[in-house]
Amino acid sequence: MQQIIIQLAGGIGMFLLGMSLMTDSLKAMAGESLRQWLGRFTGSPFKAMMSGIGFTLVVQSSTATTLATIGFVSAGVLSFTQAIGVIIGANIGTTSTGWMVALLGLKFSVSMVALPMVGVGAMMKLLGKNTVALLGLALAGFGLLFIGIDFLQSAMAGFAEQVDLARWSNDDVLTRLILVLIGIVMTILLQSSSAAITATLAALAGGAIDMPQALTLVIGQNIGTVATAILAAIGATVSAKRTAAVHVVFNVVTAVVAFFVLMPLLLWQVRTGWLQDWDNVLVIALFHTAFSIMGAMIFMPFTRQFQWVLERMIPERIDGAHTHYLDESLFSVPAVAISAAKSALNQTVAATLSQLVKACRGEMSGTAIDVAQLDDCLQKVDEYLNKMPVSQSQADQEKLMRLLQLIVYIRVIREDLIHAEFIDVLHGYADASLMREVTAKFEQLAEYLAQEHEYLPSEFVASFVQFGDSMKAQKTDVRLAIIEYSAHTQTHAADALNLIVARRWLDRLVKHTAKMLLVLESPKVKHEMI
């Protein structure tokens, strides 16, 4: 028995390790394209559901899809309406693992193929770079996954010879509910419904459990997947909590219908109908897919009503801060986590620059510009990035470097803005055309940042850089003009010096902002640094 337990633990461990390697590498390869894909193909509830299915098929993990969706909603990438369809689709997409295990892992001896896959994948990881290395990890993970299944099948066959589970095979409702609870606990402990269902399929194939037991366990395992979503929603945004609630309600309601309607119907078909000749393992895979599709058929026609109910159960609380983008659920897709941090910074900088625009127009004093919100955002972004795991994707690493450059320039601009009292000095001297142009440039910048463009328009960046170059070229002439103006108006020397310092402050602010814009522009566009 000890040998069986060791083999069982090793099989589950290999399966989880293989699934983790495969999922993480596939997500890293997809990276930012996952966000773009979901944003582009979720225009209707049906499209959102199909995107959820596709996303889950790509990363082979409904948990990853659910966590990413919660993060996407928090980051403003997806609306709550779109998220409902994606979550429903993820529940259908995750059933692909059961089919893969049933058709390949338990039907054929893949260990002879799996071991070379691990070897080739490891070599690709060691010798390759970027996409090749990530593909190697995915290949090695795929191989480990099937080696784990092989161990599980052997362990379950030995378990069936030593343990009699016949007393759990009756049709008593209480017994079945206990098995549902066992299925829930299995998923929570393994942190993967795919691993729990694979263990169930292996146990069924090895004769350790019978068909009704397997069906009941699968229902419980499907409910157990909500645990991760609930944990991810604790302390998250209202939208994230609503998204997690979709996952919980969908899985629980679907499980109830499957328990009382679909399972008896399927067992009847196995005994007397067209499923008599089907292999038991394939019947379980079919059942898993069938009750997820049944759930979609129940919920999809009532998406709007479902949304309405959850929005009233979990009301929105608006606090005006932009750091709600910083959701740790996004760590499952590092490219999107980086984008979330960038969005938080852009929105906060836009709000701060809006104050600067008002000061330039004379609608408020330069001394009244408040950088407290910017300070808070910078601190929270620092804390967020410290928690974020390092991505193995070179594209993600380059994106992170650009984000760090952005933070540096924002800190420099923040130091400029704490001396914004110079705007009040310039109002007494600077020509109106200059102040109008400065106001227009910063106002347009604030609008672009608030609109959350992936990259700033190259034309605008080039125009701002040119404006900064022009101000720099006029530095000497402006200084002489200020001196002449002071002599003509008999201004005190101290006031003239203050004007010169104020104009130099404005030059620096424009120059530092121009450098920040170069970081926010597409990396494909090259400019000479001003």
pLDDT value for 489 = 58
Nearest to 92 by CA among 231, 332, 295: 295
Q: Which two tokens stand for residue 463?
A: 């125009």
* 26 plus 111 within the same structural domain: yes
Q: For 456, phi and psi rounded to 5 degrees?
A: -75, 145
Residue 208 lies in a domain: yes
Residue 483 lies in a domain: yes
pLDDT value for 483 = 63
* 351 plus 307 within the same structural domain: no
* 42 plus 168 within the same structural domain: yes
Residue 326 lies in a domain: no
Question: How far apart, in whole angstroms, are the C-alpha atoms of residue 395 and residue 382?
Answer: 21
pLDDT value for 432 = 67
Question: 262, 282, 313: which is the final residue of a domain?
Answer: 313
Nearest to 15 by CA among 182, 190, 183, 156: 190
Question: 313, 347, 375: which is the final residue of a domain?
Answer: 313
pLDDT value for 168 = 56
- Residues across the chain: 530
* 113 plus 13 within the same structural domain: yes
What are the pLDDT tens digits along the chain (530 aa)? 677 778 778 877 877 787 777 767 766 666 556 666 666 666 678 888 888 888 787 766 677 677 777 767 766 667 788 888 888 998 898 888 778 777 775 555 556 677 888 888 889 888 887 778 888 888 888 788 778 777 776 776 665 555 545 555 556 788 888 888 988 888 887 767 777 888 888 888 877 788 888 899 999 988 988 887 787 677 666 777 888 888 899 999 999 999 999 999 988 888 887 887 888 888 888 998 998 999 999 998 888 888 888 888 888 665 556 666 777 767 777 777 888 888 889 989 999 999 999 998 888 888 899 999 999 999 999 999 998 887 767 778 888 999 999 999 999 999 999 998 888 887 766 566 778 888 999 999 999 998 867 788 889 999 999 988 888 887 766 666 666 666 565 556 566 677 778 888 888 999 999 999 999 987 766 555 44
pLDDT value for 62 = 73
pLDDT value for 75 = 61
pLDDT value for 429 = 63
Residue 323 lies in a domain: no
Residue 525 lies in a domain: no
* 342 plus 400 within the same structural domain: yes
Question: 250, 284, 313: which is the final residue of a domain?
Answer: 313
* 254 plus 342 within the same structural domain: no
Q: Name the percent of the chain in helix, strand, coil, to the closest 5.
A: 80, 0, 20
Question: How far apart, in whole angstroms, are the C-alpha atoms of residue 246 and residue 489?
Answer: 71
Number of domains in the chain: 2
* 190 plus 225 within the same structural domain: yes
Beta bridge partners of 456: 521
If DSSP states are collapsed to H, E and C, what string results for 257-282? HHHHHHHHHHHHHHHHCCCCCCCHHH
Domain that holds residue 429: 334-520
DSSP state of 393: -
Torsion of CA 86, 87, 91, 97, to 10 degrees: 60
Q: What is the pTM of this model?
A: 0.67
Contact 61, 94 (CB under 8 A): yes
pLDDT value for 530 = 45
pLDDT value for 131 = 77
* 298 plus 356 within the same structural domain: no
Contact 417, 366 (CB under 8 A): no
* 350 plus 425 within the same structural domain: yes
* 89 plus 235 within the same structural domain: yes
pLDDT value for 529 = 45
Residue 348 lies in a domain: yes
Instruction: Tell me the CATH number at 364.
Output: 1.20.58
* 357 plus 309 within the same structural domain: no
DSSP state of 456: B
Residue 437 lies in a domain: yes
* 302 plus 347 within the same structural domain: no
The one-letter amino acid at 68: A
pLDDT value for 411 = 96
Residue 440 lies in a domain: yes
